[in-house]
Structure 1
Amino acid sequence: MTRILITVLATVLAMALWTGTVFIGTSQGWWKTPITDSAASKDFVVPVRDKIAAEHRGNLGFALIEKGKVIDQFSVSSGEPVDENSIYQVASLGKWLTAWGVMVLVEDGLVELNAPVSKYLTRWNLPDSDFDHSGVTIGRLLSHTGGLDDRLGYDGFDTPKDVQTLEESLTHAEDASPGKNGIVKVGGEPGAEWKYSGGGYTMLQLVIEEVSGLSFADHMKQRIFEPLGMTRTTFDHDEAIAWGLAENFTTTGKTEPFRWYTALGATSLFTSPADMARFVAVQSPSGSQSVLSQETLTAMASSHATSMGADVWGLGVMLYAPNNQDGFIIGHDGNNEPAINTAARFDPATGDGIVVLETGSPLLATEIASEWVFWKTGNVDNLAFAMALESMFLRILVGCVIIFLIGLVIGWRQWRSSRIRTGLSNKASGESSF
């Protein structure tokens, strides 16, 4: 019986060790190889072009940045031609720029990061809850740690006449993504955990309007886009349409109209690959921009939120992976149905970065950008880890089943051997009694 118990314990321990090994190995990239063994940028671009040729279904714009300079860029299309100046709707990637719109007001002394958001709102306020709303600060909204539980996700509207006001959308977003109730409220202790909130950025959009006295689109144009020389970037739908939009492809290769949004700051930035590359490049150590101070940029790129023990968010930026220089690869991704996928990654220490804007393939931009992170740093970025979860759990399950079956066979043999020995012992005892 003792041997069987030891086998059971050993089986449980082996399953635990297997689970831990697979989890750590996946997060550390033990089974992953870089897209190229070469450190040369031209050799990185070659397999990227191959991947795009094999997988893209719509429009795509690509830019590679080194030391604050764009060293390679190209565009591909399955429809009308596109180039580096073509306008894409980039979904949640716009949150990174919305954060800049907030931070210029912080530097102006008009907004405090640690102040409750309610201090700046007169047109709308959070509904009552069981939590202290004074903890819902500007900084926590930027880092998704304000305790909001909306997890929005906006699907947008068919026509401009359907678009809600900001106040209406915050109360109940009629274009909430599937599975979300569209209500922005405090559902947890502010500051206790990271929980993604599109509604938090819609609140920040309202803060910008209330504090600046301008429409959100005008504030962003005057304070961010024009000073940075981003001449093909806007939150104004009409302006973007007047410039001419790159076709919006679905996963089946068909085209469909772009959607209209109330939640501009959360999900409806229009920009070009060239402008987005410029936005990344000017943040390099050798870059030239006077919109935000280096102190502010450093604060934005520092950890303000963790999840599963990993640093995941700064102020308005995702922290994808360590950059091996006491900092992080930062940036943002965007996804809107049916198949808008955008990604930008940037290393503040080197000025290197990548921009991929595309429609038609749900995760192609994110996959390419994540490959860049692993190629540059040897570290798996957080979104690449998230994309690997399904295969990781399958590997864990298969391994644990095999370990369990091995343990079961060993235990059965031990039990059978024990029964045989017991039988022989009983037989021997019976014979000796005569």
Structure 2
Amino acid sequence: MKYIILVLICFVSQYIFAQKNTGELPLPVQKKVDSLFASFDHLNTPGYAIGISKGAKTLYKKGYGSANLDYKIAIETNSAFSIASVSKQFTAACIALLILDGKLTLETPVSKFVPELNKYADTIRIKHLIYNTSGITDYHKLKRPGGKSWVTFNYFDTDECIATSLAVDTLQFKPGDQWDYCNVNFMLLTKVVEEISGLPFSEFAKKRLFEPLGMLNTIINDDATQIVKNRVTPYNPRNARYVEGYKEYGIQLKEEGEYIQHPRISPHYGGSGVISTIDDLLKVER
């Protein structure tokens, strides 16, 4: 998967910087892009939606494969994907809006909005959360209360993740001294947004970010039961590696079949949780 993405980016970049931008990719280039996804371009396999843009111009967009193997629904550019950790940039954008509103700065102590952080001797500031330098231990590195695993088949939410991380009485390092990727940093940022705005994070993001950008099919998925138009079902390959990996998390699977369906039933957000489409994501560049 990483190989495909890297080849796509490198090839298109070479073309874009070598040629004058005419507003779309020439047909030969489109065919080369399509060839990268040819093995996924049928309804018997999970697939991809791609968008290629330069500045405000969309050069190419297309869907490949199936959004749902139960019903063999084709992926389109308006198919709604859970974009996982790419969500973090939108969480940070919400904080940026509040900074522009004059409600806080990068130097503001987070404990002003999340009093539980007062127990730490060193001050965690907004910038430490955004830049992953807080020293907070991420939830999935810790044992989950109750003994269940953190695999998303087992329901958990943002509050449980934060509570698990903040139950640790010491930071891994002094804030600002090191970098350590941490989803809870961005979960805490959603609490800051909610405390300042008085709105659920999903509502703030909708009103202040998604709607102004015209991203009308983008949401914060903070409810596992929510109906999402054109939602894409996630899958993993059903091979020995994945089957054994699931078993390690207490999920017993059959071995026959090509794919493992893996729906998102744990509605944590901030570090993830955004559901969006290629059509909407292309609007961010405009």
Normalised to the residue count of structure 1, the TM-score between the two structures is 0.48
Give me the whole-angstrom Cα distance separating, in 1, the residues matched to 2:157 and 2:235.
25
Given that 2:78 and 2:230 are in contact with CA atoms closer than 8 Å, whether structure 1 keeps it comes out as no
Given that 1:235 and 1:268 are in contact with CA atoms closer than 8 Å, whether structure 2 keeps it comes out as yes
Given that 2:224 and 2:264 are in contact with CA atoms closer than 8 Å, whether structure 1 keeps it comes out as no
Give me the whole-angstrom Cα distance separating, in 2, the residues matched to 1:95 and 1:271.
13
The one of 104, 111, 123 aligned to 2:104: 111
Question: In the alignment, which residue of structure 2 is the partner of 1:170?
Answer: 162
Aligned-partner residue type, residue 106 of structure 1: I
State the Cα deviation string for residues 327-375 of structure 1 (Å, max 9, x = none): xxxxxxxxxxxxxxxxxxxxxxxxxxxxxxxxxxxxxxxxxxxxxxxxx
Correspondence 1:231 to 2:216: yes
Note the C-alpha offset of 1:60: 0.7
Correspondence 1:193 to 2:188: no
Q: Which moved more, 1:51-60 or 1:96-105?
A: 51-60
The one of 132, 153, 159 aligned to 1:158: 153
SS of the equivalent of 2:53 reads strand
Aligned-partner residue type, residue 232 of structure 1: N
The one of 67, 75, 84 aligned to 2:63: 75
Given that 1:208 and 1:216 are in contact with CA atoms closer than 8 Å, whether structure 2 keeps it comes out as yes
Note the C-alpha offset of 1:243: 1.4
Correspondence 1:146 to 2:134: yes
Question: In the alignment, which residue of structure 2 is the partner of 1:246?
Answer: 232
Aligned-partner residue type, residue 126 of structure 1: L
Note the C-alpha offset of 1:260: 2.7
Given that 1:144 and 1:200 are in contact with CA atoms closer than 8 Å, whether structure 2 keeps it comes out as yes
Aligned-partner residue type, residue 48 of structure 2: L
Given that 2:51 and 2:58 are in contact with CA atoms closer than 8 Å, whether structure 1 keeps it comes out as yes
Aligned-partner residue type, residue 77 of structure 1: G
Structure 1: state its 5+ residue gaps: 1-33, 174-180, 283-434
Give me the whole-angstrom Cα distance separating, in 1, the residues matched to 2:60 and 2:274.
24
CA RMSD of aligned residues (A): 3.0
SS of the equivalent of 2:49 reads strand
Question: In the alignment, which residue of structure 2 is the partner of 1:120?
Answer: 113
Correspondence 1:85 to 2:74: no
Correspondence 1:259 to 2:273: no
Given that 1:113 and 1:138 are in contact with CA atoms closer than 8 Å, whether structure 2 keeps it comes out as yes
Matches for 1:356-367 after TM superposition, within 5 Å = none
Given that 2:64 and 2:74 are in contact with CA atoms closer than 8 Å, whether structure 1 keeps it comes out as yes
Question: In the alignment, which residue of structure 2 is the partner of 1:204?
Answer: 189
* Cα gap change, 1:163 to 1:238, in 2 (>3 Å): closer
SS of the equivalent of 2:129 reads helix
Question: In the alignment, which residue of structure 2 is the partner of 1:272?
Answer: 277
Give me the whole-angstrom Cα distance separating, in 2, the residues matched to 1:249 and 1:184.
37
Note the C-alpha offset of 1:196: 0.8
* Cα gap change, 1:182 to 1:88, in 2 (>3 Å): farther
Note the C-alpha offset of 1:110: 1.3
**Aligned length, in residue pairs:** 233
Give me the whole-angstrom Cα distance separating, in 1, the residues matched to 2:226 and 2:31.
32
Give me the whole-angstrom Cα distance separating, in 2, the residues matched to 1:164 and 1:118.
21
Matches for 1:237-386 after TM superposition, within 5 Å = 237=223, 241-252=227-238, 253-254=258-259, 256-279=261-284, 281-282=285-286
Note the C-alpha offset of 1:184: 9.1
Given that 1:61 and 1:83 are in contact with CA atoms closer than 8 Å, whether structure 2 keeps it comes out as yes
SS of the equivalent of 2:73 reads coil
Given that 1:184 and 1:199 are in contact with CA atoms closer than 8 Å, whether structure 2 keeps it comes out as no
Structure 2: state its 5+ residue gaps: 1-9, 20-24, 67-71, 142-148, 239-257
Note the C-alpha offset of 1:195: 1.2
SS of the equivalent of 1:245 reads coil
* Cα gap change, 1:271 to 1:63, in 2 (>3 Å): same
Note the C-alpha offset of 1:182: 9.2
Give me the whole-angstrom Cα distance separating, in 2, the residues matched to 1:223 and 1:116.
23
Note the C-alpha offset of 1:163: 3.4
Give me the whole-angstrom Cα distance separating, in 2, the residues matched to 1:185 and 1:101.
28
Note the C-alpha offset of 1:197: 0.9
Correspondence 1:51 to 2:40: no
Q: Which of these two proteins has the greater Rg computed from alpha carbons?
A: 1
State the Cα deviation string for residues 51-81 of structure 1 (Å, max 9, x = none): 2224685121111112311121000114421
Note the C-alpha offset of 1:145: 1.4
State the Cα deviation string for residues 302-341 of structure 1 (Å, max 9, x = none): xxxxxxxxxxxxxxxxxxxxxxxxxxxxxxxxxxxxxxxx
SS of the equivalent of 2:270 reads helix
Aligned-partner residue type, residue 153 of structure 2: D
Give me the whole-angstrom Cα distance separating, in 1, the residues matched to 2:190 and 2:109.
15
* Cα gap change, 1:102 to 1:84, in 2 (>3 Å): same
SS of the equivalent of 2:74 reads coil
SS of the equivalent of 1:270 reads strand
State the Cα deviation string for residues 2-49 of structure 1 (Å, max 9, x = none): xxxxxxxxxxxxxxxxxxxxxxxxxxxxxxxx5476435446544332
Give me the whole-angstrom Cα distance separating, in 2, the residues matched to 1:182 and 1:231.
38
Given that 1:144 and 1:197 are in contact with CA atoms closer than 8 Å, whether structure 2 keeps it comes out as yes
Normalised to the residue count of structure 2, the TM-score between the two structures is 0.71
